[in-house]
Amino acid sequence: MSGASPVDVLLIGGGVAAAAAAEELRAHGFEGSVLLASRELEPPYHRPPITKALLTGRCEREALALREAGWWEEQRVELRTRAPVMSLDVATRSAKLTTKEEIRFGKALIATGAMVRRLRLEGAALDGIHYLRAPGNAMSLRADLAGAEHVVVVGGSFIGTEVAASLTALGKRCTLVMQEQLPLERPFGVAVGRFVADLLVRHGVQVLGSEDVQAFEGEGRVQAVVTLSGRRLPADVVVVGAGAIPDATLAAKAGLAIGESGGIRCDARLETGAPGVYAAGDVCEYDSVLHRRAVRIEHEAHAIAQGRTAARNMLGAATPHADVPYFWAELGDWAMLEYVGTAGAWDEERVEGDPAGGSFTTWYLREGMITGALTVGRPEDLERARARALVAAGHT
C-alpha cells in the first residue's frame, strides 16, 4: 500500500447521494481532499427525468447533469468517471479502482445505489424488452419506439405507471400489467390505486391487475407477453419496471453487514460497522429514529438528504438521520403525486378531497396517529404531514 494515493474523503458512487455529500463537505468549510469514484460514463445526474422528460424527448441527456461542468473543479472535488471501486479494505482504509490505482482514505462513503430487478422468464432475452435505470436505457427505448404501436409495460409501481403515461402521451397504445389489483396500491392503498388506474384508463391505457407475467413470446424480437391467466398481449416493445435491488456487492465483499432489505446495515448516523465508513441513498439500510426500525428508501430527495447527513457526520456532527422522507412522481402532464412521511406499515387510510376531481390527500395512520400523506393537487397538506409524522415519531 505504500504507493497508494492518500485522500481525506473517498466518495464511492456516481449518483445524487455521493454528489450531495461532496457539496455538503465543502458547504461546511471542509478543506481536505475529496475524491469521487464513479462507475458511470458521465458526471452525477438526476434519474427522475429518465421515465419522464428524457423518455418523451422534452429534454436531452445533457439536461440531467446535477452540476455544471466546471463545478467539480471549482469545489476541488476530484471526479473520476468510468472508475469503479473494485475492492475496499475497511481495516487498512484503502480501496482499489478498476484503473488499478490504490487509494488510502481517512473516511469513506459508500453510495453505490441500486440495480434493476430483471425478470428471469422464458423469452426474457428477446430484443425489444427494456429496463430503465440510466439515461442510455431511455435513449435505446426512444429509438426502439419509432415503428412500435403496442407497448406492454410490466409493473404497477412508479416506473411502470410513469412510463405508461409518458408513452401514451407519445401516441403509443399501452397496456399496463401488474400483480397487484391496482397500481401503487401496495404502498399507498386503494384510494390512490383507484385514482391512478382511472387516470391511466381515461387517457387510453389498458390496465390489467392481478396478473402474473409468465413468458415473452417472439422470434428474435418480442411479439407478445403471456400471463399466467392465459392472456396473450401483443407487444412491439416491452418495458419492465419490476423494482430495484440495492448494489451492495462492494460492501459485502468488504465484510460489511448487509440487512434484510439487501442494503448496507448502518446505525442511525449512517455509519457502517467499520468506523469512518458511511453509506447513503438507495443502498443504505439504516436504523431510522423516525420509523423506529431499520429502513431502506429509494427516492431522490432522500438520497440527497442522506448524503448530506453522512457528510456532516464525517465532519464530527454525530447526529442521526432524521429528515422526514419526501418524494414526487409525475404521470405525464396529467397529475403529480407527492408524499411526505414515515408511513411504512400504516393500518388506516383517510381520504380528504375529491379523487374523481383530481384533488385529494390520503392520510396514513398507525395506531391512530398520522404518519404520512400522499397528495394530488393539495401541496399545502405536505407541511402538516411532515409535522404530524414528527409528532408520531416523538420528534417535535
Say whether residue 269 binds ligand FAD (CB under 6 A).
Answer: no
Cα–Cα dist 155/162, whole Å: 11
> Which three cell numbers, joined as nine digits, stand for 125?
432475452
Q: Which of 11, 51, 311, 372 binds ligand FAD (CB under 6 A)?
A: 51
Say whether residue 329 binds ligand FAD (CB under 6 A).
Answer: yes
Q: Which is nearer to ligand FAD, 234 or 243 (CB)?
A: 243
**b or e along 8-29 (b: 16 or more beta carbons within 10 Å of the residue's beta carbon)?**
ebbbbbbbbbbbbbbbbbeeee
Distance spanning both ends of the chain, measured CA to CA: 48
- Tell me the CA distances in angstroms from 329 to 112, 159, 332, 334, one per residue in order: 23, 9, 9, 11
Say whether residue 327 binds ligand FAD (CB under 6 A).
Answer: yes
Say whether residue 40 binds ligand FAD (CB under 6 A).
Answer: yes
Q: Which of 9, 50, 165, 251 binds ligand FAD (CB under 6 A)?
A: 50
Say whether residue 37 binds ligand FAD (CB under 6 A).
Answer: yes
Say whether residue 300 binds ligand FAD (CB under 6 A).
Answer: yes
Tell me how far, at minimum, the Cβ of 303 lies from ligand FAD, in Å.
4
Contact, 358 vs 331, CB < 8 A? no
Q: Which is nearer to ligand FAD, 82 or 203 (CB)?
A: 82
Say whether residue 372 binds ligand FAD (CB under 6 A).
Answer: no
170 Cβ neighbours under 8 A, 6+ residues apart: 56, 57, 145
Q: Name the nearest CA neighbour of 12 among 81, 101, 91, 100.
A: 81
Residue 170: other Cβ atoms inside 10 A:
15
For helices 185-202 and 158-169, the axis angle rounded to 10 degrees is 10
Cα–Cα dist 393/387, whole Å: 10
Q: Give the range of 10-18, 22-30, 286-294, 345-353 binding ligand FAD by CB under 6 A.
A: 10-18
Tell me how far, at minimum, the Cβ of 234 lies from ligand FAD, in Å.
25
Q: Taking CB under 6 A as the criterion, which residues in 277-296 touch ligand FAD? A: 281-282
Residue 367: other Cβ atoms inside 10 A:
9
Q: Taking CB under 6 A as the criterion, which residues in 124-143 touch ligand FAD? A: 132-133
Say whether residue 165 binds ligand FAD (CB under 6 A).
Answer: no
Q: Name the nearest CA neighbour of 243 among 197, 310, 296, 314.
A: 296
Tell me how far, at minimum, the Cβ of 51 lies from ligand FAD, in Å.
5
Cα–Cα dist 209/177, whole Å: 6
Tell me how far, at minimum, the Cβ of 2 lies from ligand FAD, in Å.
24
Tell me how far, at minimum, the Cβ of 54 lies from ligand FAD, in Å.
9
Say whether residue 111 binds ligand FAD (CB under 6 A).
Answer: yes
Q: Which is nearer to ligand FAD, 15 or 344 (CB)?
A: 15
Say whether residue 79 binds ligand FAD (CB under 6 A).
Answer: no
Say whether residue 338 binds ligand FAD (CB under 6 A).
Answer: no
Q: Which is nearer to ligand FAD, 51 or 309 (CB)?
A: 51
Q: Which of 150, 291, 296, 299 binds ligand FAD (CB under 6 A)?
A: 299
> Which three cell numbers, joined as nine digits, stand for 285?
439500510
Tell me how far, at minimum, the Cβ of 156 lies from ligand FAD, in Å.
15
Say whether residue 84 binds ligand FAD (CB under 6 A).
Answer: yes
Q: Taking CB under 6 A as the criterion, which residues in 192-251 touch ligand FAD? A: 247, 250
User: 3-state SS of 306-336?
Assistant: HHHHHHHHHCCCCCCCCCCCEEEEEECCCEE
**Please, how many CA atoms are within 13 Å of residue 111, restricted to the half-sphere of its CB?**
35
Cα–Cα dist 57/141, whole Å: 11
Cα–Cα dist 50/60, whole Å: 10
Cα–Cα dist 176/154, whole Å: 6
Q: Which of 7, 9, 17, 152 binds ligand FAD (CB under 6 A)?
A: 17
Tell me how far, at minimum, the Cβ of 233 lies from ligand FAD, in Å.
23
| Chain residues in the site for ligand FAD (CB under 6 A) | 12-18, 37-40, 47-48, 50-51, 84-85, 111-114, 132-133, 159, 247, 250, 281-282, 298-301, 303, 327-329
